[in-house]
Amino acid sequence: MADSTIAERLGVFASTLEIDALPRPVVDRVTGCLIHALTVGMAGSTAGFGRRAEQAGPGVSSPSNLGGYARSLVTGQWHPASTAAFINGVHLHARAQEDTHGTFHPGVSVLPAALAAAETSAVDGRTFLAAVVAGYEVGIALSRPLTDLTTPPFRATAVFGPVAAAAAVGRIRGLSGENMASALAIAASISGGTSESFGAGTDEWHFQSGIAAMGGLMATQLAEAGVTGSRTAFEAEAGYLDCFSRSHEAAETIGRDIGRSWNLLDVTFKPYPVCAFNQTPAMLAVRLRESGLRADEVASIRLRMNEREATYPGMPSRGPFTSTAQTLMSARFAFATGIVHGDITYDHLQQFTDPQILDLIGKIDLVAEPGRSPKTARSTVVLVDGTTVHDAIENSDAMLSWDIDGVVHNAERLASEIPLSTEELETLVESVATLPQASSVDPLIRATLAGISIGA
């Protein structure tokens, strides 16, 4: 495919991917992504964003004809597939603890779209898994070379999510390579979302993942109905690359290695419900607390971070804080909370006026350090007795690239925030692990809904 376009290359890959073609580590990683997404989604139920999304379109407890309907993971109600994808995309993103690749969060767009499509199409677990991998791989094939050029002012999940979701849904629906290319092109034409709300501390970003999932699903439905998309949607003048990166340098390379190297293996997980950029300072702060450091011993802190990350909208905030949208983005709040509590829970993010945290925030000098690698952090803590404590994390990806046991351990760590018993969590993990043998995704959805009360 030497003269192929990006849409054609990605379309052929996504339309032909089979589970048997996947190396074992890729299957393990996508299994981990599913477990992480679903358990984090449950833990995010208290945030309420999924329920607000569901208010956009009322569901039914038992539709007369299930064709075209899928379930909300928030209430168990049935909705048209596009609405279910929207609701569940918001739900899985409610506490900002999803998986991540760079600045792109593939799971919160790919998985809701794939689940809605799999439920309406009644496909087996093998097809569903292949589709999820296709979505992750296509989305990251775009985000890997482009995310640093787009984010900010755009938001990566809003830019890459619709195309990733379309790839997953197209694989479930059995689109040909030609129709898949159209679906990806249509998704590319409707992609985009800003990152301004992080700085404002408002809620818009919570819904971008749901819009991405819904947009990808609808783009596929349009292609299936015969709508044609541009074969040069990505690389042409005024196309996707032009709009979001102002650069065509990556045009010849995007999708060339897809299916030979696997982007999923570089997806990492979040232990805390804060921005991906805050995972490293959070881990560093928790480690300092575990080593014996106490907030009342601190005279001053210098926290060095990657320049782009430290200046991203919301990251430099000192407060005042009135929303979790502000606290989960603030590097100072994350670092102070890690030291004060030795952990960061969603409840901690709502402690906007905690005097210990605010006092410590006032002592933190956040340094945007040119040349510092992304997702690293170095702290210099001066104690009231004059002692200086140095610590650093220079490779957080290695710490956050969990195997399945690591993902399950994190889910167990969140037990107090997840409405599942130990036995129900084990059932959920088992339903993901046995997807290759499952005739549908119904056991997975039932296991996910086990912790909520579903109407008759």
Per-residue exposure over 341-355, b if at least 16 CB sit within 10 Å of its own CB, e if not: beebbbebbebbebe
Assess whether 311 and 187 both reside in one domain.
no
Q: In the listed set 374, 399, 424, which residue is the last one of a domain according to the structure?
A: 399
Assess whether 249 and 142 both reside in one domain.
yes
The answer to whether residue 52 is domain-embedded is yes
Report the alpha-carbon distance of residue 220 to residue 450 in Å, rounded.
Answer: 30
The answer to whether residue 456 is domain-embedded is no
> With the C-alpha atoms ordered 114, 155, 72, 411, is the resulting torsion angle positive or negative?
positive
Report the alpha-carbon distance of residue 413 to residue 339 in Å, rounded.
Answer: 18
pLDDT in the model for residue 64: 63
The answer to whether residue 1 is domain-embedded is no
The answer to whether residue 51 is domain-embedded is yes
Report the alpha-carbon distance of residue 21 to residue 180 in Å, rounded.
Answer: 19
Assess whether 110 and 210 both reside in one domain.
yes
Contact (Cβ atoms closer than 8 angstroms) between residue 224 and residue 339? no
Rounded to two decimals, what is the model's pTM? 0.94
Pairing of strands 78-80, 298-306: unpaired
Assess whether 133 and 234 both reside in one domain.
yes
Assess whether 202 and 311 both reside in one domain.
no
The answer to whether residue 350 is domain-embedded is yes
Report the alpha-carbon distance of residue 378 to residue 12 in Å, rounded.
Answer: 44
Report the alpha-carbon distance of residue 410 to residue 424 in Å, rounded.
Answer: 16
Give the chain's domain count.
2
Dihedral in degrees, nearest 10, Cα atoms 365, 275, 94, 434: -150
The answer to whether residue 199 is domain-embedded is yes
Q: In the listed set 384, 399, 414, which residue is the last one of a domain according to the structure?
A: 399
Helix (H, G, I), strand (E, B) or coil at 431: helix
Residues 6+ apart with CB under 8 A from 416: none
Query: CA of 438: how far to CAs of 37, 244, 340, 383, 452, in Å?
Result: 19, 40, 45, 57, 23
Assess whether 235 and 307 both reside in one domain.
no
- What is the CATH classification number for the domain harbouring 302? 3.30.1330.120
Per-residue pLDDT tens for 153-202?
999 999 999 999 999 999 999 999 999 999 999 999 999 999 999 888 89
How is residue 79 written in tokens?
A: 């909705």
Assess whether 156 and 289 both reside in one domain.
no
Q: Which domain holds residue 427?
A: 6-269+401-451
How is residue 202 written in tokens?
A: 């408002």
Percent of the chain surpassing pLDDT 70: 98
pLDDT in the model for residue 454: 46
Q: Peptide bond before 145: cis, by omega within 30 degrees of 0?
A: no
Assess whether 264 and 311 both reside in one domain.
no
pLDDT per residue rounded down to tens, the chain (456 residues): 568 999 999 999 999 999 998 999 999 999 999 999 999 999 999 899 999 999 988 788 877 677 789 999 999 999 999 999 999 999 999 999 999 998 999 999 999 999 999 999 999 999 999 999 999 999 999 999 999 898 889 999 999 999 999 999 999 999 999 999 999 999 999 999 999 998 888 999 999 999 999 999 999 999 999 999 999 999 999 999 999 998 888 888 998 999 999 999 999 999 999 999 999 999 999 999 999 999 999 999 999 999 999 999 999 999 999 999 999 999 999 999 999 999 999 999 999 999 999 999 999 999 999 999 999 999 999 999 999 999 999 999 999 999 999 999 999 999 888 888 899 999 999 999 999 999 999 999 999 999 775 433
Assess whether 383 and 416 both reside in one domain.
no
Q: In the listed set 358, 383, 399, which residue is the last one of a domain according to the structure?
A: 399
How is residue 136 written in tokens?
A: 């992750």
- What is the CATH classification number for the domain harbouring 173? 1.10.4100.10
Query: CA of 285: how far to CAs of 87, 319, 385, 392, in Å?
Result: 34, 19, 20, 10
Q: What is the CA radius of gyration of the chain?
A: 22
Assess whether 147 and 79 both reside in one domain.
yes
The answer to whether residue 302 is domain-embedded is yes
Contact (Cβ atoms closer than 8 angstroms) between residue 325 and residue 95? no
Contact (Cβ atoms closer than 8 angstroms) between residue 270 and residue 375? no
How is residue 304 written in tokens?
A: 């060095």
Per-residue pLDDT tens for 115-155?
999 999 999 999 999 999 999 999 999 999 999 898 889 99
Assess whether 413 and 294 both reside in one domain.
no
Residue 79 gets the label, from left (phi > 0), alpha (psi -120 to 50) or beta, of: beta
Contact (Cβ atoms closer than 8 angstroms) between residue 245 and residue 149? yes
Assess whether 164 and 212 both reside in one domain.
yes
The answer to whether residue 343 is domain-embedded is yes
Q: Peptide bond before 152: cis, by omega within 30 degrees of 0?
A: yes
